């Protein structure tokens, strides 16, 4: 099945599967009283306490099942990407479970979460390093140049996984924010896979084409599943994705970019995740050094809330900026080479 048929078909099937399981999961979480406890200092969201969480299982299950249905698991790229997303989801689930079980917003300790993220990152990085189709060379956007990182690829990729998963997790603070931004991310990544199959990957390299096609399947499946999840997650959210979902999305997005040898594409599709990280780092650093705050609250989307901008508008702004920068990044990928 060609990518032109496979990707839209996977998108549709994943959307349908996520829509089918969404309400049963929501009902189950309500019965289990698996409600999110909102941080006390985020007073604008006090009314959201008790909203069911761990909704990330909806799109994760739908996306992985879709990959299995279409045979993507027969290729290592798709299989490892699904396993990576599931591993990060499990780590997030442990964090969510502790919060729900003990009725507070403190789940895993910071060092425990980072250790778990690093452990998963080590395994997937070693897979990339040893895989002849990924190896240590990365494409440079807007050029035909390729940069071989050598041994530096290992720490670079590990840091990338830890940074992106944390950045997505930090951004998950408004109804539908991460869901809509990540849906845009996966659509852009699917388009990158389609372009690679059409132009960059040699027709004669059947194995490589199969791997790139499997990543297109992976990205289109997540795009469809996440868009279906938005039905319940858009403001006012009926269910939150929780760390179960945000960590899974961070791992999935990073896998796609790294496996396609375009890790620098993350700068473009993840522009608003970067904004979240920078705002937190600046806020903490300035407060510790000078005892004052730069933002009314960090991450930046909360600052905008306290400036009086409606939650739905902030989500729209973030999604539009993510999509625009993603398209720019996609153009950069088209200029680059996959070798």
Cis peptide before 299 (omega within 30 of 0): yes
Whether residue 270 contacts residue 185, with contact meaning beta carbons closer than 8 Å, is answered with yes
- Predicted local confidence at residue 103, as pLDDT: 76
- Predicted local confidence at residue 1, as pLDDT: 66
* Nearest in space to 189 (alpha carbons), one of 134, 262, 120: 262
Side-chain-side CA neighbours of 282 within 13 Å: the count stands at 15
Percent of the chain, pLDDT > 70?
A: 95
- Predicted local confidence at residue 107, as pLDDT: 81
pLDDT in tens, 100-153: 888 777 788 889 999 999 999 999 999 999 999 999 999 999 998 899 999 999
pLDDT in tens, 213-264: 999 999 999 999 999 999 999 989 999 999 999 999 999 999 999 999 999 9
- Predicted local confidence at residue 126, as pLDDT: 97
- Predicted local confidence at residue 202, as pLDDT: 82
Q: Average the pLDDT over 7-25 and give the result.
A: 97
Kindly provide the b/e burial profile for residues 305-337, where b requires at least 16 CB atoms within 10 angstroms of the residue's own CB: beeeeebeebbeebbeebbebbeebbebbeebb
pLDDT in tens, 41-95: 565 666 677 799 999 999 999 999 999 999 878 899 999 999 999 999 999 999 9
Kindly write down the DSSP assignment for every residue of 281-306, as one continuous string.
HHHHHHHHHHS--SSSSSSHHHHHHH
305 to 150, 211, 300, 310: CA distances (angstroms): 44, 43, 9, 6
Whether 338 shows a pLDDT value over 80: the answer reads no
- Predicted local confidence at residue 82, as pLDDT: 98
Extract the tokens encoding 263. Answer: 């890790």
DSSP 3-state of 133:
coil
Whether 282 shows a pLDDT value over 80: the answer reads yes
242 to 56, 148, 209, 214, 337: CA distances (angstroms): 6, 37, 35, 27, 37
The backbone torsions φ and ψ at residue 65, rounded to the nearest 5 degrees and listed phi first, read -65, -40
Whether 12 shows a pLDDT value over 90: the answer reads yes
Going through the chain in order, the beta strands assigned E by DSSP cover 137-139, 146-148
6-15, 17-26, 36-45, 134-143, range with the lowest pLDDT: 36-45
- Predicted local confidence at residue 337, as pLDDT: 67
- Predicted local confidence at residue 114, as pLDDT: 94
Q: How confident is the model at residue 27 (pLDDT cuts 50, 70, 90)?
A: very high
Whether residue 222 contacts residue 186, with contact meaning beta carbons closer than 8 Å, is answered with yes
- Predicted local confidence at residue 149, as pLDDT: 95
Q: How confident is the model at residue 206 (pLDDT cuts 50, 70, 90)?
A: confident
Strand pairing class (137-139; 146-148): antiparallel
* Residue 140 host element (H or E): none
Number of H helices, E strands in the chain: 12, 2
């Amino acid at each position: 099945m060609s990518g032109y048929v496979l990707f839209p078909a996977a998108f549709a099937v994943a959307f349908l599967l996520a829509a089918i399981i969404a309400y049963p999961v929501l009902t189950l979480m309500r019965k289990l009283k698996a409600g999110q406890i909102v941080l006390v200092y985020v007073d604008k969201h006090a009314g959201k306490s008790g909203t069911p969480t761990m909704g990330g299982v909806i799109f994760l299950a739908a996306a992985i099942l879709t990959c299995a249905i279409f045979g993507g698991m027969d290729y290592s790229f798709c299989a490892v990407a699904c396993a990576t997303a599931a591993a990060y989801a499990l780590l997030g689930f442990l964090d969510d479970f502790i919060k729900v079980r003990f009725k507070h917003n403190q789940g895993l300790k910071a060092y425990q979460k980072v250790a778990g993220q690093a452990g998963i990152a080590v395994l997937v990085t070693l897979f990339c390093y040893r895989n002849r189709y990924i190896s240590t060379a990365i494409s440079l956007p807007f050029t035909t140049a390729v940069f071989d990182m050598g041994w530096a690829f290992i720490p670079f990729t590990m840091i990338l996984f830890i940074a992106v998963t944390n950045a997505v997790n930090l951004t998950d603070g408004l109804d539908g924010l991460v869901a809509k931004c990540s849906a845009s991310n996966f659509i852009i990544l699917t388009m990158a896979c389609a372009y690679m199959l059409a132009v960059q990957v040699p027709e004669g390299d059947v194995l490589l084409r199969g791997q790139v096609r499997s990543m297109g399947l992976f990205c289109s499946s997540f795009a469809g599943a996440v868009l279906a999840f938005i039905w319940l997650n858009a403001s006012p959210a009926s269910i939150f994705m929780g760390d179960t979902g945000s960590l899974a999305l961070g791992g999935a997005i990073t896998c796609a970019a790294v496996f396609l040898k375009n890790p620098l594409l993350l700068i473009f599709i993840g522009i608003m995740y970067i904004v979240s990280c920078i705002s937190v780092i600046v806020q903490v650093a300035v407060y510790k050094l000078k005892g004052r705050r730069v933002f009314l609250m960090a991450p930046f989307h909360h600052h905008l809330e306290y400036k009086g901008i409606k939650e739905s508008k902030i989500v729209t702004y973030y999604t539009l900026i993510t999509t625009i920068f993603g398209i720019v990044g996609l153009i950069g990928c088209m200029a680059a080479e996959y070798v």
